Amino acid sequence: MKPNSLSKYRPFPAISLPDRTWPDQMITRAPIWCSVDLRDGNQALPQPMSIEEKLEFFELLVQIGFKEIEIGFPSAADTEFNFCRRLIEENRIPEDVTIQILVQTREQLIRRSFEAIAGAKRVIVHIYNSTSPLQRRVTFGDASRESIKQIAIEGAKLVKELVPAIPQTEVVLQYSPESFSDTELDYAAEVCNAVIDVWQPTPQKKMIINLPDTVQWTTPNVHADMIEWMGRNLHQRDALTISLHTHNDRGTGVAATELGLMAGADRVEGTLFGNGERTGNLDIVTVALNMNSHGIPTGLDFSELTDIRLKYEKFTRLAIPERQPYAGELVFTAFSGSHQDAIKKGLDRRQKESKDNADLIWGVPYLTIDPRDIGRSYEAIIRINSQSGKGGVAYVLDREHGFDLPKSMHPIVGKYIYDLADQHGRELTVDEIRDAFFDHFVNQENHLGLIAYELVHQPGGSVHCNATIFIDGKTQKIEGDGNGPINAFVHALEIVGLKDFKVTDYRSHAVRGGSDASAASYVQLQHEDGRILWGAGVDPSIEMAGLKALVTAWNLLR
């Protein structure tokens, strides 16, 4: 923003609440959830959903576990009205699910809305009117506080009058002072209390006061102060359900909601992945999974989050950002080498410790939850680019391809792979990593190659080897003795003047997830000049895999 443009803005005024209690509270239980995807989310789409798409989306929301679903604005258009009627007439609303409709406090719209909901078992009728001084001045032409309050009162009276006309339907009143986020608190309470006095809720038949953060003007802590202040100043608090409806203009919708719950709110309205006007609504997925990560049950099932994301993208024609909390493609992906190494160590340790403790508390560096709990997998946690490190490459080779590299081999393999990624200017796929590993470190025979090998066991435990090799294009037969295949082969190389190294380490294992007959071996050699490096060999025979690893290391020393 240009410095000379700042003079047009002012700080949002603080709330006088010196005895605020919300900072000492903790979220210990889930609120009542209400999805507004089919109304608030749908009206924000460049291409709104068809009735058939809304029906499918409704079914998805039911499957997730929402018990309150705002289905639309049935008085606004025939499409909205017909959608509401289809839900009711085709018996698509489960017994334990309450639909919610939104309507402005205007007589003809309220009457049309009651026509739309006739026959439903239980409906939340959500009426609203704007109350902020900005809306009163600009939208309503300098309307007085009293005239705006009267609009709310008349709407509440009409709803109360119409309820007996649909006796088979239980109607719950919800009132929103729209633009509550920049309405004077005393006036917001005055209007809400006037509606409460009309409806006269009881602890047995509560009404909902929804306090929308329609436009975010300030920080989440001020929002929490506003919610706590309202809770103290509303009539019949024990007969009210205080509801939050936060938008995300300042990028703090989740924080404002969480602090609002700490401040005493009982209910949350939002959408999947935060779709909504401008920068969006509250992302209910994030808030619910944040609670799950603290062990709090929410009643919402996001265990197949990828499937939910794909359906959402189909219905809305919107794409989930790659860094969207929990749902984004890259949120369980580490590119940084230090992160990769820590994740690998954490997963390995957890796998070992969980064998004896099925209820082991989750604790893996950089991962706030177990990706498997929301239908994700470990396969994409670590991906390799030029910023990656030794641990990440080793992790991929181990988890994806079954090669358990010795730890001291990690640095040289890691450097080779991420240098290759740097050359390409992009991340490498898991198959590209495997291919690069094989191309450079496995079964290499560019100078020295092993054509045939025969091992003869001798009395006393020693072995004699007869081998056919090629050296720089020429075939040669060699032989030697030792206490094992590798030792005997090294002796044979020494006899023909090809030994300028010593073997300093050797490992082998069956290749996990590969052929049952595949073995991998790793041989570390130290050259006479002090250089140390590893070679790997893969072969159905574990003896031949070891020899191929030695030959590879010999070639790499050249």
Residue with tokens 């177990």: 370
Classify the phi-psi angles of 460: left when phi > 0, otherwise alpha if psi is within -120 to 50, otherwise beta: left
DSSP letter for 165, please.
G
Q: Read off the tokens for 3.
A: 């410095």
pLDDT of 73 higher than 80: yes
pLDDT of 56 higher than 60: yes
pLDDT digits (tens, 9 = 90+) for 106-123: 999 999 999 999 999 999
pLDDT digits (tens, 9 = 90+) for 144-172: 999 999 999 999 999 999 999 999 999 99
Cα–Cα distance, 499 to 400 (Å, whole number): 35
Please report the pLDDT score of residue 354 as a whole number: 84
Q: Which of 162, 152, 271, 267 is nearest to 206 (CA)?
A: 267
196-210, 363-377, 398-412 — which one is most confidently predicted on average?
Answer: 196-210
Q: Which of 515, 518, 517, 551 is nearest to 534 (CA)?
A: 551
Strands 267-270 and 448-457, bridge-based pairing: unpaired
CB 104 within 8 A of CB 132: no
- Average pLDDT (455-482) is 90
Please report the pLDDT score of residue 400 as a whole number: 83
What Cα–Cα distance (Å) separates residue 258 from each residue in 28, 179, 210, 244?
11, 19, 15, 10
pLDDT digits (tens, 9 = 90+) for 510-535: 987 655 558 999 999 999 999 999 99
Q: Read off the tokens for 13.
A: 């005024």
R_g of the chain, CA atoms, integer Å: 34
pLDDT of 101 higher than 60: yes
CB 463 within 8 A of CB 455: yes
pLDDT of 388 higher than 70: no
Domains of the chain, by residue range, sit at 30-316, 337-440, 448-557
Neighbours of 14 (CB within 10 A): 11
Please report the pLDDT score of residue 546 as a whole number: 94
Q: Which of 347, 193, 164, 174 is nearest to 245 (CA)?
A: 174
297 Cβ neighbours under 8 A, 6+ residues apart: 30
Please report the pLDDT score of residue 525 as a whole number: 95
Backbone angles phi, psi at 160, to 5 degrees: -60, -35
Residue with tokens 């290759």: 420
pLDDT of 383 higher than 90: no
Cα–Cα distance, 157 to 173 (Å, whole number): 11
DSSP letter for 142, please.
S
- Average pLDDT (350-373) is 88
Q: Is pLDDT larger for residue 308 or for residue 334?
A: 308
Please report the pLDDT score of residue 380 as a whole number: 47
Cα–Cα distance, 271 to 274 (Å, whole number): 5
Q: What is the mean pLDDT of the chain?
A: 92
Backbone angles phi, psi at 376, to 5 degrees: -95, 175
pTM, 2 dp: 0.77
Q: Which of 152, 156, 170, 135 is nearest to 199 (CA)?
A: 156
- What is the CA 209 to chain-centroid distance, rounded? 31
Q: Give me the residues paired with residue 102 across strands.
A: 126
pLDDT band at 202 (very low <50, low <70, confident <90, very high): very high
What architecture (CATH level 2) is domain 30-316?
Alpha-Beta Barrel (3.20)
Grouping H, G, I as helix, E, B as strand and the rest as coil, residue 254 is: helix
Cα–Cα distance, 506 to 458 (Å, whole number): 23
pLDDT band at 332 (very low <50, low <70, confident <90, very high): confident
pLDDT band at 379 (very low <50, low <70, confident <90, very high): low
SS (H, E, C) 487-539: HHHHHHHHHCCCCCEEEEEEEEEECCCCCCCCEEEEEEEEECCCCEEEEEEEE
432 Cβ neighbours under 8 A, 6+ residues apart: none
CB 17 within 8 A of CB 226: no
- Average pLDDT (175-197) is 97
CATH class belonging to 337-440: mainly alpha
DSSP letter for 238, please.
G
Q: Read off the tokens for 303.
A: 């265990």
Q: Is pLDDT larger for residue 377 or for residue 410?
A: 410
CATH class belonging to 448-557: alpha beta
**Helical residues (DSSP H) of 442-484, grouped into ranges:** none
pLDDT band at 138 (very low <50, low <70, confident <90, very high): very high
Q: Read off the tokens for 184.
A: 């004077």
pLDDT of 433 higher than 70: yes
Cα–Cα distance, 442 to 262 (Å, whole number): 58
Please report the pLDDT score of residue 558 as a whole number: 85
Return the biggest CA–CA distance within the chain. Answer: 110
Cα–Cα distance, 214 to 130 (Å, whole number): 10
Q: Is pLDDT larger for residue 93 or for residue 518?
A: 93
